[in-house]
Amino acid sequence: MNFELARFNMIEQQIRPWDVLDPVVLALLSEVKREEFVPAEQKLLAFADVCLPLAKDVPGAVMLEPKIEARLLQELGLKNKDRVLEIGTGSGYMAALLAARAEFVTSIEIEPSLAKLARENLQRAGIANVAVEQADGLKGWAAKAPYDAIVISGAVPAIPDVLLQQLKVGGRLVGIVGTDPVMSAQLVTRTGEMSFNTNNLFETLVPTLRNAATGQTFSF
């Protein structure tokens, strides 16, 4: 398989039509090798417009569609001094994209086997500014809060309040909110100590994060 041609086609046929036009984001999608973050048996599907299962023993654990990852990355508008929290590491691919634009990324993965996989993938890719922690990310990671940006790499019925409280004022959070069959990607900006602004970005359907239905949530 010609991975470079497949990557080019992914960007031109999937990513750009989804209004991902930031040249920095498009360059990252060319540079960060998505095929190195997928399971060996999925490599031929690395650039397909589908959610890719990550492990047979972890139902619901997937890599999101490339266009969704790209759009969320673009909407965050990361700067090189930003410190980022990711909820749901998976294989480490989104963390790798985030790390290429931010100063440091803390990525939380609830499944031990996936946390191990992500660390191995990131190390092999030579990415040193990501820490993968094994924990329930829906509780946040207070040790390094507050964050300039937070990414929820999966669906939640509503945004957990604990995550919003770990955002800096002016910080941004992106995530996919709702329950099947109605979910939408949202960009939440913390505008003050007790105020938040929410923009709906697009509708989609992705697997719900484990424990998402039981966590404390915030209603706008």
> For the whole model, what pTM was predicted?
0.93
Q: Could you tell me the end-to-end alpha-carbon distance of the chain, in angstroms, rounded to an integer?
A: 47
DSSP classification of residue 58: S
Query: Do the beta carbons of residue 183 and residue 131 sit within 8 Å?
Result: no
Report the candidate in 56, 82, 73 with the shortest Cα–Cα distance to residue 18.
Answer: 73
Q: Is residue 102 part of a domain?
A: yes
Is 214 a domain residue? no
Considering the domain boundaries, does residue 217 fall inside one? no
In a domain, 213, yes or no: no
Where in the sequence is the domain holding 173, given as residue range(s)?
Answer: 3-203
* Number of domains forming the structure of the chain: 1
pLDDT band of 162, cuts 50, 70, 90: very high
Mean pLDDT score, 33-53: 93
152 part of a folded domain:
yes
The residues pairing with 195 across neighbouring beta strands, listed in sequence order, are 192
Whether residue 17 is predicted with pLDDT greater than 70 in this model: the reply is: yes
In the beta sheet, which residues pair with residue 185?
A: 176, 202
- Residue 219 counted as domain residue: no
User: Does residue 212 fall inside a structural domain?
Assistant: no
Nearest to 172 by CA among 69, 107, 98, 75: 75
Predicted pLDDT of residue 218: 36
Cβ-contact 193, 187 below 8 angstroms: no
pLDDT digits (tens, 9 = 90+) for 67-90: 999 999 999 999 999 999 999 999
Give the domain CATH number at 172. Answer: 3.40.50.150
pLDDT digits (tens, 9 = 90+) for 147-157: 999 999 999 99
220: in domain? no
Q: What is the pLDDT of residue 215?
A: 42
